[in-house]
Amino acid sequence: MLDAQAKTADKPVKKKKSFFREWFDSILFAVVAASLIRWLFAEPFVIPTPSMENTLLVGDFLFVSKLHYGTRTFRTPLQVPLTHQKIWGTNIPSYSTAIQLPTFRLPGFTRVKNGDVVVFNYPPPRSGEPDYPVDLKTNFIKRCIGIPGDKLEVRQRQVYVNGKAMPVPPHAETNYFVKTTEVLDERFFRKYDIINDFKSPEGPFINWQPLEQYNDSTKTTALVGYSVNTTATTIARFKAFDWVKSIEPLTDQPGQAMPGIYGGSAHQWNRDNYGPVTVPKAGMTVPLNEQTTALYGILIERYEGNENVKLTPTSVSVNGQPISAYTFKQDYYFMMGDNRHNSEDSRYWGFVPEDHIVGKAVLVWMSLDPNPVAFWQKIRWNRLLRLVE
């Protein structure tokens, strides 16, 4: 008995942690746990622009699953946890490129499919931004229109994949020309969620504007023409008004080249008439000529891991050797926004490489209206916990 008491007395008393040490340990555990969850399982995102309206709205907060397509390993391991490009509230970079690792993808539940809403790293360097490592490039969200190997074409706004018409997303928006005998104002359009006062990082988005005022063929009735960017459902409601005289889709015509369209001057394409193009697939070989170089030359130079690539409008050379054909090393995807006339997507900057895919958008968990009519309408209650379709 005395022996046991002596041993107990000799045992050192464990020093209690200080208040600040307990807080530090708790915060450290929370940061590590949140970083692992964000990397392995799901990551929160917020919608900053209207390019996916009305499927996703500005102010929607999403969970993006990393498990569906498989989590990417870190390309840039030296970065401040829970940051992306800069330290919160500053212009100080949150990472170092001193170490760059090869990227691998863990096994996922599925692969990217036609129609999936996908978050990815925007491939080309953005104007005014540094050329970030792949895993730190700006995040974009679009709908996947073409998967590796697909032959894709847009004809008069209708998307065709492998010769079959792809269903238009039910909440997709596009432009219409509306002729009416009534003068319409902001208050009218706001009732139908057609709003002009949102400004994104890409600039203002004009969803309605008067185009012209004129007389009809009888010269007795004054008509006003409006360009309106909205859904087919809203247009069907407009058609029920007796003062709406006609509604026509505003569609670019075939053969009218649009500046800034991906593919350059080698093709006479625009946003409503694009292709046909074949989406590159790992192992696919393409001949290189003026037309194919305009489509695939940038991929060979930027995303395939080749060195010393030189491009001209008609040729490609690698390490000083001209090549007449090229075999792709990874898969690519073609993405488009559901707001077809207000989306910066693959029609303008090209294909998305496989190693730029972040995850699948699965759930809207919160939605805040950036332009509420009243403060109690700030939360869009009808969008909470809505699955992304």
pLDDT, one tens digit per residue, over 341-359 is 989 999 999 999 999 999 9
Q: What is the rounded average pLDDT for all residues in the chain?
A: 88
**pLDDT tens per residue across span 359-376:** 999 999 999 988 787 888
pLDDT (mean) for 236-241? 94
Strands 316-318 and 274-278: unpaired
Confirm whether pTM is higher than 0.75: yes
pLDDT (mean) for 222-245? 91
Helices and strands (DSSP H and E) totals, the chain? 6, 23
pLDDT (mean) for 334-340? 96
DSSP code, position 36: H
Residue 216: per-residue pLDDT: 56
pLDDT (mean) for 249-261? 91
Residue 44: per-residue pLDDT: 93
Residue 195: per-residue pLDDT: 83
Residue 194: per-residue pLDDT: 87
- 3 pLDDT above the threshold of 90: no
Task: Name the β-bridge partners of 316.
Answer: 311, 323
Rounded Cα–Cα distance for residues 136 and 223 (Å): 51
Q: 3-class SS at 248?
A: strand
Residues that are catalytic: 51, 142
Residue 217: per-residue pLDDT: 57
pLDDT (mean) for 79-102? 91
> pLDDT band at 50, cuts 50/70/90?
confident
Strand order of the β-sheet with 316-318 is 309-311, 316-318, 321-323
Q: Is it true that the peptide bond before 44 is cis, omega within 30 degrees of 0?
A: no
Of residues 208 and 356, the one with the higher pLDDT is 356
Rounded Cα–Cα distance for residues 130 and 148 (Å): 29
Rounded Cα–Cα distance for residues 374 and 39 (Å): 37
**pLDDT tens per residue across span 173-184:** 999 999 998 889
Kindly give, in sequence order, each residue whose CB lies less than 8 Å from that of residue 36, ignoring residues fewer than 6 positions away. none
Residue 85: name the closest of 139, 39, 31 by CA: 139
- How long a stretch of residues is the chain? 389
Question: 3-state DSSP: the chain helix, strand, coil percent, rounded to 5?
Answer: 20, 30, 50
Residue 294: per-residue pLDDT: 92
pLDDT (mean) for 48-62? 91
Which residue segments constitute the domains of the chain, with CATH numbers given? Answer: 24-150+333-389 (2.10.109.10), 173-249 (3.30.70), 285-327 (no CATH)
Q: Give me the torsion for CA of 354, 357, 362, 364, rounded to 10°.
A: -150
Rounded Cα–Cα distance for residues 336 and 338 (Å): 7
- 166 pLDDT above the threshold of 90: yes
**pLDDT tens per residue across span 263-316:** 877 788 999 999 999 999 999 999 999 999 999 999 999 999 999 999 998 899
- 378 pLDDT above the threshold of 50: yes
Q: What is the DSSP string of 162-201?
A: TTEEPPPPTT-EEEEEEEESSPP-HHHHHTTT-----EET
Residue 126: per-residue pLDDT: 76
Instruction: Report whether 333 contacts 278 (CB < 8 A).
Output: no
pLDDT (mean) for 327-340? 97
Residue 110: per-residue pLDDT: 95
Residue 11: per-residue pLDDT: 59
- 23 pLDDT above the threshold of 60: yes
> pLDDT band at 2, cuts 50/70/90?
very low
Rounded Cα–Cα distance for residues 298 and 309 (Å): 10
- 127 pLDDT above the threshold of 50: yes
Q: Give me the torsion for CA of 144, 145, 146, 151, rounded to 10°.
A: 180
pLDDT (mean) for 135-146? 95
Phi/psi of residue 162, nearest 5 degrees: 55, 40
